[in-house]
Amino acid sequence: MNFWRSLDPRTPPANLRPANELAILRERILQTILLFISLAALVGCAILAVTSILTGNWGNLALFILLTTATVLVAFYRSVPYKIRAAAIVALIYFSGIYGYISAGLTGDGKLYMLAFTILTAILLGLVPGIIALIVSVVSTGVFGYAMVHSLIPIPPPNWIANSSNGAEWLISIIFLAILGTITTISLAVLINSIQSSLQKQKSLTRDLQNERSNLELKISQSTRDIERRVMQIKTASDIARSISSLQDPQILLQQVVDQIREKFELYYVGVFLVDEHQYAVLKAGTGEAGTKMILAGHRLQVGGSSMIGWCIANRAPRIALDVGKEAVRFNNPNLPETRSELALPILSRNVALGALTIQSREPAAFDDNDIRMLEGIADSLAIAIENAGLFLSIQANLDEIRSLNRAYLMQGWNDAISIHGDFRYTFDENPKNSSEANNLIQVPMTLRDQVIGQIMLETNQTTLAPDDLEFVEAITVQTALALENARLINETQRKAFQEETVNKLSGEFSRGMNIEEILTSAVKAIGQLPAISEVSVYIGSPGASDLENDGHKLEAAS
């Protein structure tokens, strides 16, 4: 079966590369011609054998059998290189033409063989060999014509020339004409069919390429739109992150974030839930009228409940519903009837869920992996901003407390200074004679670290001071307040140093004291040195006794 399959012209031999379509086509034409010639030659051998028996001319039969055998071998052994097989068949046709010229001259079939030789050479071996074959055919015909005209070779005897009244000659001519015509027709038919098939393939390929081009343009257009959308989303995420980093008020921050996400991503609704101390997710910011209504109504969802937000916070993972009508766990709210897709994203800080973002769209299947990653980045930035805002408020409260304590300490220090030294007042009158004319009083507070420690009073005959003068007075007031505070601190430091020195000296006297009276005398003298103390008395006796002065021992020291 494989042998007969190998003879099929449609099955190229193994030595031909599939990519070489022209070589495969020529091999197909050659194998078709060889098979046809082999079959015709076998039939011709049978007819010629009968003719040889009748005429007794066995030489032609022997030559024909030899040529037929060679043709069959070339047809059967396709492993022989193509050019050798093609050259053998065109050479056979060429020498058949030569034989026709020799045997019958101009009236024979030599011209047909030469024409077939030229055509088949061009088809089987190419244009250049075809041109060479044409030249050889013309030259050979001219040479034989010249030789016969000038009697250089003998003219065929009359009995060799085809006789129109001889039926056998007609039959032989018809057979050879049929063979040549069939060979040429088959070659051209196979060639034309192959060209037509190639044209059909080309048209089909052209259509496929056009369809592929249209699909590619559509894909490129879609990809371009997707890229533009992604670029816009990235820019939006960057803008949102930048605005997040610049805001400190948590409520303003949350509302601005949800508004920007809804506007830039063209969404139906965006909201932010934060977890309270009772493990409820409370809506803190929402877009549109629906968000305002739900915030005023105190909308909240239980963490770990059946809602998407509750599940998202409890599991610290995003939850997506591509069609909320088919999703069992979803944010079912009559204030948002047009929601078709919902995305819940946790707001995580160090793996702790601070709350969640709810993002809703009117379109089913509105979110993909890229959207989730983009919005997760915004949620992460929001978590950092919420934590920073909380830290800012805590730091602000601590600063306010520190300022309050500082103001209290400052006032206590000045109150102590006033109690020790009395009120500090100083008046400067540049022109005492005209002081009665200055009937306008301007007060400028003396402020130190947001605390008023005094004031400067200016008497002037003008209702207000010029801006430059007022700025000058305020600058002097600030410097005066600083200088006074420095002086107070120095005095306080000196006073405390004196007290410590006194305590140290007193401790030495106590250690040297030999009796109770010396120790008490040293103590009351040290205490009596305080400016605010006018008299110091020490009583030694039973505590709480009504007659302490009679039963106890009294020492007095006047300051």
Q: Are residues 256 and 390 in the same domain?
A: yes
Which of 353, 285, 274, 352 shows the shortest CA–CA distance to 313? 353
Q: pLDDT at position 328, please?
A: 42
Residue bearing the bigger pLDDT, 356 or 151: 356
Picking from 208, 229, 263, the residue at the C-terminal end of a domain is 208
Q: pLDDT at position 60, please?
A: 67
Q: pLDDT at position 3, please?
A: 65
Q: How many domains does the chain fold into?
A: 3
Q: What's CA 254's distance to the chain center, in Å?
A: 27
Supply the DSSP string of 255-268, one letter for each residue: HHHHHHHHHHTT-S
Q: Which of 10-19, 154-163, 189-198, 538-547 has the lowest mean pLDDT?
A: 538-547
Q: Which of 32-41, 182-191, 333-342, 355-364 has the lowest mean pLDDT?
A: 182-191
Does residue 403 lie within any of the structural domains? Answer: no
| DSSP structure class, residue 10 | T
What radius of gyration do the chain's Cα atoms show? 61
Q: Are residues 203 and 323 in the same domain?
A: no
Q: Quick one: pLDDT band at residue 39, thresholds 50, 70, 90?
A: confident
Indicate left, alpha or beta for 68 from its phi (over 0: left) and psi (-120 to 50: alpha). alpha
Query: Looking at the predicted structure, is the pLDDT value of residue 437 above 60?
Result: no
Q: Are residues 105 and 194 in the same domain?
A: yes
Residue bearing the bigger pLDDT, 507 or 205: 205
Query: Looking at the predicted structure, is the pLDDT value of residue 545 above 50?
Result: no
Quote the mean pLDDT of the chain: 76
Q: Are residues 152 and 263 in the same domain?
A: no
Query: Looking at the predicted structure, is the pLDDT value of residue 15 above 80?
Result: no
8 Å CB contact between 410 and 453: yes
Does residue 221 lie within any of the structural domains? Answer: no
Q: Quick one: pLDDT band at residue 550, thresholds 50, 70, 90?
A: very low
Q: Are residues 113 and 17 in the same domain?
A: yes
Q: Are residues 103 and 182 in the same domain?
A: yes
Query: Looking at the predicted structure, is the pLDDT value of residue 360 above 70?
Result: yes
Query: Looking at the predicted structure, is the pLDDT value of residue 320 above 60?
Result: yes
Query: Looking at the predicted structure, is the pLDDT value of residue 501 above 80?
Result: no
Query: Looking at the predicted structure, is the pLDDT value of residue 19 above 60?
Result: no
What residues make up the domain containing 334?
Answer: 247-395
The mean per-residue pLDDT over the stretch 532-541 comes to 70
CA distances from 135 to 95, 131, 132, 141, 339 (A): 15, 6, 5, 10, 86
Q: Quick one: pLDDT band at residue 557, thresholds 50, 70, 90?
A: very low
The mean per-residue pLDDT over the stretch 261-280 comes to 87
Query: Looking at the predicted structure, is the pLDDT value of residue 160 above 70?
Result: no
Q: Quick one: pLDDT band at residue 271, thresholds 50, 70, 90?
A: very high
Q: Where are the alpha helices (DSSP H) in 297-426?
A: 308-315, 369-421
Could you read off the pLDDT of 440-486 as tens digits, one per residue? 777 778 777 767 777 777 777 777 777 887 788 778 887 887 887 78
Task: Tell the burial category of 37 from Cβ atoms under 10 Å away from its Cβ (0-12, 13-18, 19+).
Answer: buried
Q: What is the pTM of this model?
A: 0.45
Domain containing 261 — which CATH number? 3.30.450.40
Q: pLDDT at position 43, please?
A: 76
Greatest mean pLDDT range, 84-88, 173-177, 297-301, 323-327: 297-301
Q: Which of 25-39, 265-279, 302-316, 531-545 has the lowest mean pLDDT?
A: 531-545
Does residue 151 lie within any of the structural domains? Answer: yes
Which of 241, 300, 276, 294 shows the shortest CA–CA distance to 354? 276
Does residue 300 lie within any of the structural domains? Answer: yes
Residue bearing the bigger pLDDT, 362 or 392: 362
Query: Looking at the predicted structure, is the pLDDT value of residue 403 above 50?
Result: yes
Q: pLDDT at position 163, please?
A: 54
Q: Are residues 57 and 123 in the same domain?
A: yes
Q: pLDDT at position 329, please?
A: 43
Greatest mean pLDDT range, 118-127, 327-336, 346-355, 490-499: 346-355
Does residue 216 lie within any of the structural domains? Answer: no
Evaluate the CA torsion angle 448, 451, 456, 458 in order and state its sign. positive
Picking from 374, 395, 416, the residue at the C-terminal end of a domain is 395
Q: pLDDT at position 502, please?
A: 75
Could you read off the pLDDT of 206-255 as tens digits, one per residue? 888 888 888 898 888 888 877 877 777 777 777 777 766 666 677 787 88
8 Å CB contact between 321 and 350: no
Q: Are residues 162 and 264 in the same domain?
A: no
Greatest mean pLDDT range, 85-94, 98-107, 222-231: 85-94
Q: pLDDT at position 254, please?
A: 85
Q: Quick one: pLDDT band at residue 173, thresholds 50, 70, 90?
A: low
Q: pLDDT at position 434, please?
A: 55
Q: Quick one: pLDDT band at residue 272, thresholds 50, 70, 90?
A: very high
Does residue 327 lie within any of the structural domains? Answer: yes
Q: pLDDT at position 552, please?
A: 43
Q: Are residues 62 and 190 in the same domain?
A: yes
Q: Are residues 357 and 462 in the same domain?
A: no
Q: Are residues 357 and 464 in the same domain?
A: no
**Sequence-distant contacts of 399-403: CB under 8 A, at least 24 apart:** 403/449, 403/450
Angle (CA) 28 34 38, round 5°:
150
Does residue 241 lie within any of the structural domains? Answer: no
Q: pLDDT at position 433, please?
A: 56
Q: Are residues 264 and 151 in the same domain?
A: no
Does residue 427 lie within any of the structural domains? Answer: no
Question: What percent of the chain has pLDDT above 90?
Answer: 3
8 Å CB contact between 457 and 424: no
Q: pLDDT at position 282, please?
A: 92
Q: pLDDT at position 436, please?
A: 53
Supply the DSSP string of 26-61, one letter for each residue: HHHHHHHHHHHHHHHHHHHHHHHHHHHHHH--HHHH
